[in-house]
Chain A
Amino acid sequence: MEYKIDERTITLMISGELDHHTLRDTSRELGQIIDIYLPKKLIFDMRAVRFMDSSGIALIIKAIRRMTELSGEVVLRNVPPSPMKIFAMAGISRYVTVEEGGKAV
């Protein structure tokens, strides 16, 4: 997974297809990145996601759990329409900030 670090903010570039098969590696990498850098803010940049099913919800929930332990926050940025439909169904915007082009929506 590609990511950028700016002080205590980490931006994860999520790409490709997010399903149960790809979740295992992505989820493990996510855990490692959080453990190493102990960020205050974790941004998921999802512009390059081509497919996502409910596995994506489990991934974000894991991130929220870990970031809550660190008193940090989770941001979803540039979520394409189809993944957004799934996040909306799960009511994810109650727990994270959803941004588009850097602006909250």
Chain B
Amino acid sequence: MSKPCDKLKLEFESKSVNESFARAAVGAFAARLDPSLEELNDIKTSVSEAVTNCIVHAYPNGIGPIYITVKISGNILDIRIKDCGRGIENVEQAREPMFTTGGEERSGMGFTVMESFCDGLKVKSKPGVGTTVTLTKRIKSRR
């Protein structure tokens, strides 16, 4: 049997009402790899963090596009979440636990959650141009 290989592309506006839609859509697509409940939740939570960051930080004063691409190759899920927003000056600092520019409403744990819930996290950003976050999740075979 050939390994599953498939792709999903989404584009939506940076409105907070879309957060639940985005993680549900990626979760539904990932379901074909037969993830455990915990793996599925790890995926949904990480997507929620990345999408929320686009809404809160990338477009702080307005609405802009968010692009999600999910690729499945074998048992590996590759999730790319991209915005064309403000960008991050210092990615290394932004990834540190508790670092936030969001004030009291945020805890600065988003990147830390993504990093520990996934097998890989890449952040590429350019101030004034935008940010691309790539999450890699390996789904363990339960057979």
Q: Which residues of A contact B (CB under 8 A)?
A: 17, 19-21, 23-24, 27, 51-55, 57-58, 61-62, 81-82, 85-86, 89-90
Contacts and interface: CB of A to CB of B under 8 A. Distances in A.
A86 B55 CA distance: 21
Interface string B53-69: 00110000000000000
Chain B interface category by residue count: 20 to 34
A51 to B, nearest CB: 7
Contact of A90 (B16, B23, B107): B107
A58 B116 CA distance: 19
A61 B107 contact: yes
A82 B113 contact: no
Given A82-B38, A82-B41, A55 B52 contact: yes
18 contacts: A19-B16, A19-B52, A20-B19, A20-B55, A20-B56, A21-B16, A51-B44, A52-B45, A53-B45, A54-B49, A54-B109, A54-B110, A54-B113, A55-B52, A82-B38, A86-B109, A86-B113, A89-B113
A20 B52 contact: yes
Given A51-B20, A53-B52, 15 more contacts: A19-B16, A20-B16, A23-B105, A27-B105, A51-B48, A54-B49, A54-B106, A54-B107, A54-B110, A58-B106, A82-B45, A86-B45, A86-B109, A89-B109, A89-B113
A19 B107 contact: no
B75 interface: no
B1 interface: no
A19 B16 CA distance: 9
B104 A62 contact: yes
B14 to A, nearest CB: 11
Contacts of B23: 51
Nearest to B53: A20
A89 B48 contact: no
Nearest to A55: B52
A20 to B, nearest CB: 4
